[in-house]
Amino acid sequence: MKLPSNFYKPLAIGAPEPYRELPVALERMIHFFPGHNEKVRARIGEMIPQVDVLLGNLEDAVPADAKEAARRGFIEVAKAHDFGQTGLWTRINPLNSPWVLDDIAEIVAEVGNKLDVIMLPKVEGPWDIHYLDQLLAQLEARHGLKKPILIHAILETAQGVKNVEDIASASPRMHGMSLGPADLAASRKMKTTRVGGGHPYYRVLEDPHADGSPRASAQQDLWHYTFAKMVDACVANGISPFYGPFGDIQDLDACEQQFRNAFLMGCVGAWSLHPNQIAIAKRVFSPEPSEVLFAKKILEAMPDGTGVAMIDGKMQDDATWKQAKVIVDLAKKVAA
Ligand code: GLV
Ligand code: MG
């Protein structure tokens, strides 16, 4: 059960309007930028129309002595631009860090009306969401914000995975969740040094051959279990699942494969850490034209969504009609 957000309580005169619907805009990629990097800041204007979501990162990858500069840089960017349809997010520092209180207070005070979503890292349970929910309610009331700020949790600790359902349902402010494979690997004490993707040693060997010839093996997906658990928790609570970072910036094929697995599993998008991952996310998280054509055939063959039809030798019924509708609806959103 979702706990009510303070948006349901008339906290103060000028408090924001009730909780809004989740964004209907596409969120195929959440593009990260470091707010303390002046060169990156100078190119934000040209970046905005290219991405679905732009996120000012204040957390990991920002050195401790640049935390304040990253925050100020993000605020400067938020003030300087009109974001149009592009979502504006920030990833704040963890709730137990020395920077987070200023991250939240300064950003909400100065650019709260432009901010769509706060990404909260290292969420361990619903208590983290409740804390941020209350804090946001206080600040939104104090600054007379016009719309509530949503919360996106990163699933990146073993505790978080254990509590994923309660996190997903913790507040009506929940926007969605991203899998954070780097921190999750550390938290689980996995023996890797990678940011997402596969691992050459995580594989299954085929049975021995009678003639003793070499046995083939295939790499397996390290993230499948967590992914499936996260997608179910999100969808069951009406929020959006995402894949997080893919750290091997040079390996565009592996990035594409990781994103595609996420797309097929139900995710709506992934993070892009480098401009060359933007086009991959755009391509992967938009349905393929041949899939859309086939899905349209299903919808046409069963106009009221019931019954049975054969298309190209494949049986279709009410369930495949629903699958087809997911694909056609997404194609329409992409085309809009
Ligand atoms: C993302 O923050 C991760 O840890 O993978
Ligand atoms: Mg992380």
262 CA distance to ligand 1 centroid (A)? 16
Q: Residue 24: its pLDDT value, please? A: 67
- In whole angstroms, what is the distance from residue 292 CA to residue 309 CA? 17
pLDDT category at 25 given cuts 50, 70, 90 is confident
How is the chain split among helix, strand and coil, in percent rounded to 5? 45, 15, 40
- List pLDDT tens digits, range 136-146: 999 999 999 98
- List pLDDT tens digits, range 37-76: 999 999 999 999 999 999 999 999 999 999 999 999 999 9
182 lines ligand 1 (CB under 6 A): yes
pLDDT category at 7 given cuts 50, 70, 90 is very low
Residue 173 among known ligand-binding residues? no
- In whole angstroms, what is the distance from residue 150 CA to residue 165 CA? 18
Token pair in block for residue 221? 């997906």
- List pLDDT tens digits, range 144-172: 998 899 999 999 999 999 999 999 999 98
- List pLDDT tens digits, range 235-254: 999 899 999 999 999 999 99
Residue 183 among known ligand-binding residues? yes
Please tell me whether residue 302 adopts helix, strand or coil conformation.
coil
181 lines ligand 1 (CB under 6 A): yes
How many Cβ atoms sit within 10 Å of the Cβ of residue 166? 15
Token pair in block for residue 288? 């393929």
Residue 99 reports pLDDT greater than 60: yes
Q: Residue 14: its pLDDT value, please? A: 41
197 lines ligand 1 (CB under 6 A): no
What is the average pLDDT across 88-117? 98
What is the average pLDDT across 109-123? 97
- In whole angstroms, what is the distance from residue 9 CA to residue 15 CA? 9
Residue 313 reports pLDDT greater than 80: yes
Q: Residue 232: its pLDDT value, please? A: 96
245 lines ligand 1 (CB under 6 A): yes
- What is residue 2's DSSP assignment? P
